[in-house]
Structure 1
Amino acid sequence: METLDAILVRYVAQGDDTRDKLLGAAFVVVHSNKTLYEGSTGRTSIPSNSTPFTPSSLTWVASSSKIITVPAILTLVERGLFSLDSDVRPLIPELAALQILRGFDPTNGAPILEDNDTKITLRHLLTHTAGLAYDLADPDLRKWSKSIDRTDNNLHHTLAGWTTPLKFTPGQGWRYGTSIDWAAQLVERVTGETIGVYLEENILRPLGMADTTFHSISKRNLGKAGCTLRDRGTGSLQMRPLPVPLEPPVECGRGIGQEEGGIPQKETVDEMFRPQLNDVQRTSLQDRVNNRHNTMIPEFPPGTVVQHGIGGVMNVEDVPGKRRAGSMHWMGMANCHWWIDRATGIAATLIVNIYPFPNAVFINLYDELERAVYGELLAELRK
């Protein structure tokens, strides 16, 4: 435990100088149903006398919330309301209208769009194989948006912001984007409840997660754990507002709260951790990972072979000194990461509230913490 405390302190600013440091960090490790470690250090704002950053600080977990959202969606599959492989387009007409962007006319730059006749399944959405991408992160979609004078984008959290052409025929590749947001819409169309309300009733409240929410976040005083941005010139930290609206027009798979987890039925969890991608999809994922290593898998050595479950990326082989094969992980825009290692029973999350990602200081901190978990905590469990 002292080792983990010392690692956190070493990476977090303890005074006014924030150069090459984090402002605050909280790290939680669990084994099965027991908390092995819960520690934090730092503060929630730039002044050195600011409120301490603790595991109870309210933070923006962004896409880390997908590991909560996905099990909630899967409870509707358990209830027989739809299946993983049924076509969701009849329930979400916006998806039925999407065309496939095949390129741009070399003579006038006009988008070349093709009608999509292939079904879009819930499995496609939950594994990011539907062809949907984040427009702000994709040069082709940015060019398409400009060509039609589009004003909304994915960070506006509107249906218009999520509505973009597909990058490929559904099922023929892998691309991270708005798929989970549309899957959350499926919950709303079927149940008549927002994803926030459905999560609270079926996942959060039963687990006692009173401080995790998709809505009314301005009332929860988010400023208690503000986001920071590093000045590239000086290396110092500056406070910055969230890049998303405090009260999103449409709730989606990107929440805010104290990072915990929700558990559906065992058979559903088993399916979540089963490798989901066929060879074409896995090759597409591997290419993306290899080209964006520090963004997508900074905790793994370059060249690590990956797969995708329902809810996150999985490492196919043991990572030396770290998690075992078949573990799942993902992250959020504010450099909050989690992993679940079913082989050892270890799961952990690190929250730092700094963006954008990747962040070199965070990457080094995360690496040291995970190595300490498997080098010391796991060894203690086996005694």
Structure 2
Amino acid sequence: MDQLNTDLVFLRNKLRKVSINEKLGYLKQEKGFSTRSIHAGQDPKQWKSGAIIPPIFTSVIYEQTVPRNMSDFFYSRINNPTRSVLQECLASIEGSKYALTFASGIAAITAVITTLSSGDGIICSKHFYSGTLDSMLIAEKMGFDVQYIDFTDLKQVEAAMKPNTRLVWTESCMNPTLSVIDIKSVATIVHKKSKNTIVLVDNTFLTPYYLRPLELGADIALYSLTKYFGGHSDVIGGSISCNDDKIYEMLKKSQFQTGTMAQPFESYLIIRSVKTLSIRLEKHAENSYAVAKWLEAHPKIGKVNHPALKSHPGHEIAIKQSYGHSGIFSFYLKEDNFEKTKKFFASLKMIPICTSLGGVETTVAFPREMSHHMYNDEEVYKMGVTYNLIRISIGIEDVEDIINDLEQALDLI
């Protein structure tokens, strides 16, 4: 038996394929992630039928043996068996004590904001996802003290902290410029100044497969499940993961009171997709790095914002805190010319122009005209959102086909 085990280990090591991210110097991915993404919360013995796939429980109400003698499930706005499976699975792959799922990423954002009180301070950045910025504008109207800083400058983080600061909101990679944030340093600065201030990291671009914010000192990891978790552009959802009992209870109460929870069918779709999250992300990463390297060498490209490239200013931080990078990055055409950028988009044949990301199909977006159209030129240029900036979400197609489509479009401008 010992010889058999030795032979199996030898064979496994010989056949093991080293991922592109390991080759690039990122942290080595821990074992067990894929297994947990398939099995966590999904023991067939919990269902009388023994179903391998968790059932979709559409029932809103559940029988009580006597009034107020309630089990875990009595009303689906509060709890639902299908949603509970998803939440247990997400907590497992995040390595967190708790996970809560919502109807969308924006619903998850709303839940966090509703735990605060008027007059509380929020620190975030204008370089963020436009949906987050929209939510911050609403927060300002509701009487919150919102400050906007550059999180790549840690001195600004420290200087922005005030006695009323209750929430520091950052992204693992800024959308759409792909600036990398040193999460551990941000969390250390904030918690040193105030133990009562929550550090939240929107980790949608990387997922817990490539970065786990709670390991780096963050209090909350927030996700749009619509993106890589769903992965097939057919479901909308959001989630929050945390370890702190008090934070969890506040968010759970908000989820119940605002009715922003994920529905059973959407929960089922995400459970299904999470099972393939790791293998999809490996392919996204492999393709995105190949495309980024190709673009970096192209004469009509000015700059490529991909953290795996050594030319990226945040490269060293990325490989120190991450297990890899996904399929999302951005790049600048050499000329800041609106008409040429529009012609590039119009010339693409396979790759569609879309506002979301993280699906199996490659898509492109024009941040200046799509997500950041409400800002004037002076504001967006400070953010790096110029007329020649293109955000691309690399899918899992054959990489040669992605490059060929980009090449023929670039040839026409």
Which structure: greater strand fraction? Answer: 1
Q: TM-score, normalised by structure 2?
A: 0.26
RCO comparison, higher one (Cα < 8 Å, 6+): 1
Q: TM-score, normalised by structure 1?
A: 0.27
Which has the higher Rg, Structure 1 or Structure 2? 2
